[in-house]
Amino acid sequence: MKGVGVGTAYYEIEVYDKNGKLIDRKRGKAESILDNWMRLFMSIRDGSPWMPKDTNGNSPTISSIVFANSYGLASAGDDSYGIQVGTGTTAVDKFDYCLESKIPHGSSSGQLSYGETSSYSAGTGLQVDEGMQRSFDNNSGADITINEIGMVLKVNDGSSDYYIMVMRDVISATTVPNGGRVTIKYWFRWNPS
């Protein structure tokens, strides 16, 4: 079909001050689809077990996925999956399986309050955007700088949950002021113009 193109991934980061005023916005092409994602595709293509590396560095063999119990949309306060943020600056490697230095959920020094990960959809005509978005509140008492973002899926095989990172990007330093908020969108775009 003419005009239909292969998709790619993008991110958008919006930083708000304590009064809700937008103070920074960044958009970029995600350069980080990881080996875990490619292995999932190959497993589905070939009908073979998926052998990803989870966020703890373990390599489970997943023979089936129970989609009704597998999610990308994490609840507020759950920093084990969904969109995650960190302070690491090491360049992305296709074999990355976790953030270099994840910022944990909370309101103590060096922590951000993780909101829920929700779905994100946009697009018109043939162009379609599908992904996730999540907000993080800084109630730590000091500014926090984000240098990396990632997308982690919770995958269930009928008996266990596995947390699998499928995307990671190192971004330009993004400072979230004390009392402020950052909202991150990560999405795939089909038929980019």
pLDDT in tens, the chain (193 residues): 444 455 789 999 999 999 999 999 999 999 888 999 999 989 988 989 999 999 999 999 999 899 889 989 999 999 999 999 999 999 999 999 999 999 999 999 999 999 999 999 998 888 889 999 999 999 999 999 999 999 999 999 999 999 999 999 999 999 999 999 999 999 988 876 6
User: What's phi and psi for 7, nearest 5 deg?
Assistant: -85, 170
Q: Which residue has the tokens 């270099």?
A: 100
Any domain includes 6: no
Whether 119 maps to a domain, the answer reads: yes
**Residue 5 domain flag:** no
Instruction: For residue 145, tell me if it sits in a domain.
Output: yes
Domain that holds residue 91: 12-190
3 belongs to a structural domain: no
Q: Total domain count for the chain? A: 1
- Asked, for residue 51, whether it belongs to a domain, the answer is yes
Task: Tell the burial category of 162 from Cβ atoms under 10 Å away from its Cβ (0-12, 13-18, 19+).
Answer: buried
pLDDT at 152: 97
Q: Is residue 2 part of a domain?
A: no
Q: How high is the pLDDT of residue 44?
A: 87
Half-sphere exposure of residue 158: CA atoms within 13 angstroms, side-chain side: 5
Q: Where are the beta strands (DSSP E) in the chain?
A: 8-16, 22-29, 82-86, 113-122, 128-137, 144-156, 161-176, 181-190
- CA 3 – CA 193 distance, rounded (Å): 9
